[in-house]
Structure 1
């Protein structure tokens, strides 16, 4: 991964003590099993190395590739993220409730800067507690759709 210096024009706003913080923490806990059950989920470097070492019959002509999405949280459109959550959670009643709560968190992200109150109207707030798991679920869904529709053969570890 290449280090990019943070953009000084984009301060990260804390979500601690906001009206959505509790619901967002709850959703982060709900989303965690969905996010970590993805076939490509890697907890950290040691986990990746362990998976790589346990892989047998890795074809010689394969190329190992990774991807990194810059500013993932802030690039997920609400409708796309909510649709992914709806598709991921199989129980329709549970899916409806969780998607409704998720929509609330996404659309009620108020913050104060320079004594003025703002509402973030697009994309996911980086500091909301549900953001990491929500983003992982979104990427797992995107990856799964890519792998199942791509014209090449793939080998997963």
Structure 2
């Protein structure tokens, strides 16, 4: 479904193109080099698992994943017969297929490709997924920016910064992580994982809430912090806090989990009410101080004997939470 809130008039071909969805996967011609690159990457992971599983002390259930990507390759003598036979059979079958592959029918016509390219190049348009329902929404760029600026004008939730804080924050992270490593609270691998020298600057964008109305719909603010300098700290804190969160009585994994729990509640006819609440701007309204107090209370329940101190986990949580920054239209903000 396409919802056009812009001044742009869509042609039937353009609307049909957008109806394919923003994540529509185009048919690709077979690239032997690309396939072998991906396949050998897969086989490398298989053989790393084989290699390390044979070493004493290895336990995949306890592996946290808090390390940078390995560049090590398992030596040839460690390859098992099973993985070697599997690799040879797959490559043999692929070579057979490559000899008979001639042409393919594209799932995207030339006209549709031209329509997609035209829409992508139009600087006056913003195309976003709707906040709910899966619709594709077209907006005037000016209207989109206006709604973003309206949200960012909330001085309680957002603080405008004078510049890019990346260098300053990176220095603080490195100093604290180095101290933790020197005191043997974290391993060398974890230290390297936590100190990201160059990170992607988080960006701010919104998803239009067209279910609230089609005239100037409000936007759901989202900060994409993937590969930012704060992401490793968040993953580190999540690794140690998640076991406690899963045990909390108020924890809900998703909608299905909520439905299952409701079905198991015995309601007394005539004296029970099921009430639903919709909290406006939930995540921006949650008190950071109250959140950190809950984290500290949770960490008090940790058993002794852990090399990583609760103080360091608390610091990672607090720093990632309170120093969360992003960029919009060249201006930096703290959330």
Inter-CA distance 49–106: structure 2 relative to 1 (3 Å threshold): closer
Does the CA contact (< 8 Å) of 1:15 and 1:21 recur in 2?
A: yes
State the 4+ residue runs in structure 1 displaced beyond 6 angstroms: none
Does the CA contact (< 8 Å) of 1:18 and 1:110 recur in 2?
A: no
Unaligned regions of 5+ residues in structure 1, if any? 123-157
1:101 maps to 316
1:44 maps to 254
Inter-CA distance 28–73: structure 2 relative to 1 (3 Å threshold): farther
Q: Deviations over 1:43-88 (max 9, x none)?
A: 33333333333334x3221212233433222112222111111112
Distance 1:4 1:42 in 2: 25
2:218 maps to 7
Does the CA contact (< 8 Å) of 2:245 and 2:251 recur in 1?
A: yes
Task: Count the aligned residue pairs.
Answer: 118
Q: Deviations over 1:84-132 (max 9, x none)?
A: 111122239843222211111123223222233x241x5xxxxxxxxxx
1:110 maps to 325
Does the CA contact (< 8 Å) of 2:236 and 2:316 recur in 1?
A: no
Distance 2:322 2:263 in 1: 43
Does the CA contact (< 8 Å) of 1:27 and 1:98 recur in 2?
A: yes
Are positions 1:91 and 2:302 aligned together? yes
Report how far residue 18 of structure 1 moved: 1.6
Unaligned regions of 5+ residues in structure 2, if any? 1-208
Distance 1:21 1:99 in 2: 15
Does the CA contact (< 8 Å) of 1:108 and 1:119 recur in 2?
A: no
Decide which structure has the larger Cα Rg and report it: 2
Which of the numbers 3, 10, 17 marks the counterpart of 2:227? 17
TM-score between the two structures when normalised by the length of structure 1: 0.58
Distance 1:80 1:23 in 2: 19
Report how far residue 11 of structure 1 moved: 4.6
Distance 2:229 2:327 in 1: 13
Inter-CA distance 41–68: structure 2 relative to 1 (3 Å threshold): farther
Are positions 1:59 and 2:274 aligned together? no
State the SS of the aligned residue for 1:112.
Answer: strand
Which structure: greater strand fraction? Answer: 2
Are positions 1:76 and 2:291 aligned together? no
State the SS of the aligned residue for 1:13.
Answer: strand
TM-score between the two structures when normalised by the length of structure 2: 0.30
RMSD: 3.1
Inter-CA distance 27–4: structure 2 relative to 1 (3 Å threshold): farther
Distance 1:105 1:7 in 2: 27
